[in-house]
Amino acid sequence: MTLAVETKALTKIYRGKVQALKALDLKVPQGCAFGLLGPNGAGKSTLVKTLLSIVSPTSGHAWLLGRDIGTKDARRKVGYLPEGHRFPAYLTGRGVCRYFGKLSGLEGAELEREVDEKLELVGMKEWGDTKISRYSKGMNQRVGLAQAMLGKPELVILDEPTDGVDPVGRHQIREVIKGLCANGTTVLMNSHLLLEVEQICDQIAIMHHGKVLQQGSVDEIRNAVSVDRGSLVVAFETGPLVDAVNAPLEELGDIERGANGFEITLPDSSHVDRVVDLLRGGGVSIFAIRPRTANLEQAFIDVISAQEDQGVGGTR
């Protein structure tokens, strides 16, 4: 497996006894969208700053695109959108992109072509000649994403990329990130918006107190902490026929309205035949029988709560 990011026992200690990273191990496969999750103070931003040599690790090793983070070559093919970035107010969106494009080695017609392409990709081409001082927070985020993609980076690191962006803009940014990954670019993103991560990312890592607690695909993380292991969900159509079988069904499990009809959650598989017989005997169509698993938010809370129960603390 080719890795875009790898760390081994990476640690960072701030002043005094506050340890921001604790022997952190992380592997980000090349070409995927990778979500870095954790509550405030988990060490996510410290990890990103350490990978980019903005701060230096106390001990351990890390590599970007196979190169040691201590070398300039490690950052040549990396795009970065920091959280809470501030562009000079007198620049236009196009001016910001030109500046960062030149830093990435672009010039002349190639620079102008890429600037136009990236501004259009994030929906900011019409605003490209407007000064940053007139931009909303969401517009600033879009321009920030545009500059992070200049120079055809192999790895793009995004810290809260949809912060302050309206729903239409968030959808557009999600599609841009998916497009990057489809073309082979690796995206590492920090986010508190778990639904966004669930929609975008192939793999995730959950951090807390400077450590990686869980890492894997979204499905693996959800399944690892599935609620009521062994429980089943039977999804069936809505309509007048459902009323006739509702009472006996309620004795077997919990019924809720689902996206396309009703769902009954069973504690295990022992009653599934009885439920199917009741529904089909009443002329009700069944369109799914599946294991009940946690969504990413439930999984995240489960993992963090388990760590808190162990009484581990002391990081920022």
User: One-letter amino acid identity for 137?
Assistant: K
Helix axes 272-281, 240-250, angle to 10 degrees: 150
Domain boundaries, the chain: 1-77+154-226+294-316, 232-291
In terms of Cα–Cα distance, which of 4, 15, 9, 6 is closest to 211?
A: 9
Residue 228 gets the label, from left (phi > 0), alpha (psi -120 to 50) or beta, of: left
pTM here? 0.79
The two domains 1-77+154-226+294-316 and 232-291 share their CATH topology (first three levels equal): no
279, 281, 286, 290: CA torsion to nearest 10:
60
Task: Give the whole-angstrom CA distance, residue 279 versus residue 275.
Answer: 6
The reported pLDDT for the residue numbered 311 is 63
- The strand order across the sheet containing 3-13 reads 19-29, 3-13, 59-64, 67-68
> What count of residues does the chain have?
316
285 beta partners = none
DSSP of 189-219 = EE-S-HHHHHHH-SEEEEEETTEEEEEEEHH
Task: Give the whole-angstrom CA distance, residue 211 versus residue 213.
Answer: 6
Sign of the C-alpha dihedral, residues 125, 129, 131, 134?
Answer: negative
The reported pLDDT for the residue numbered 256 is 76
Q: Is-contact 240 289, C-beta < 8 A? A: no
User: One-letter amino acid identity for 256?
Assistant: E
Task: Give the whole-angstrom CA distance, residue 78 versus residue 307.
Answer: 33
Q: Where does 232-291 sit in CATH, by number?
A: 3.30.70
The reported pLDDT for the residue numbered 263 is 76
Output DSSP code: residue 186: E
The reported pLDDT for the residue numbered 314 is 43
Task: Give the whole-angstrom CA distance, residue 103 versus residue 113.
Answer: 16
The reported pLDDT for the residue numbered 242 is 60
The reported pLDDT for the residue numbered 227 is 52
* Backbone dihedral angles phi then psi of residue 18, each to the nearest 5 degrees: -80, 115
**pLDDT tens sequence for the chain (316 residues):** 689 999 999 998 887 777 899 999 999 999 999 999 999 889 999 999 999 999 999 999 999 999 999 998 999 999 999 988 899 999 999 999 999 999 989 999 999 999 999 999 999 999 999 999 999 988 999 999 999 999 999 999 999 888 878 888 888 889 999 999 999 999 999 988 888 888 899 999 999 989 999 999 988 887 776 555 456 677 766 665 566 666 777 778 777 776 667 777 777 777 788 888 877 887 777 777 776 666 788 788 888 888 777 765 444 3
- Domain 1-77+154-226+294-316 maps to which CATH number in 3.40.50.300, 3.30.1490.20, 3.40.640.10, 3.40.190.10? 3.40.50.300
The reported pLDDT for the residue numbered 244 is 62
Residue 156's contacts (CB-CB under 8 Å, 6 or more residues apart) are 78, 79, 80, 81, 148, 149, 180, 185, 186, 187, 188
CA distances from 281 to 16, 63, 240, 286 (A): 70, 61, 14, 11
In terms of Cα–Cα distance, which of 13, 24, 12 is closest to 206?
A: 24
